[in-house]
Structure 1
Amino acid sequence: MPLIQVQMFTGRTPQQKRDLVRALTDAFVETAGSTPDAVDVILTDVEQSDWAQGGELFSEKKSK
């Protein structure tokens, strides 16, 4: 059972998430030869205050 995990900033709509899950599943099926019902996708929303790059929180980068 393939598992695709995506961590992304919060703010996507339920429809955007549905579209993303479908696109990821379709891409895996086409590329790896799996079946759609075997592909699991976990979406994890992360606040910008909980994600850093280069030693700086994304929430603080936006305010500059």
Structure 2
Amino acid sequence: MPEVTISMAAGRTDEQKKAIMLDITNSIVKHANVDPEAVVIQINEAPHNNKMKGGKTFIERNAKK
């Protein structure tokens, strides 16, 4: 059973997350030759204050835009 875990900053809509998971599921079905029922996708979202890139939290990075 293929399992995929996605870690990303919070902020996407449920519809966006569903589309991401469906695209990944379809890719695994196509390339790993498995049934969609065997594919598990999980999204772990981090609040922007708990995620950092380049020495700045995502809150700090977003404030500069």
Common fold, TM-score beyond 0.5? Answer: yes
Structure 1: gaps spanning 5 or more residues:
none
User: Identity of aligned pairs, percent?
Assistant: 30
Structure-2 residue corresponding to 1:40: 40
Q: CA RMSD in A?
A: 1.2
What's the offset of the Cα at 1:54? 2.2
Map 1:1-64; keep pairs closer than 5 Å. Answer: 1-64=1-64
Q: Which aligned segments of 4 or more residues in structure 1 are displaced greater than 3 angstroms?
A: none
Structure 2: gaps spanning 5 or more residues:
none
Count of aligned residue pairs for this structure pair: 64
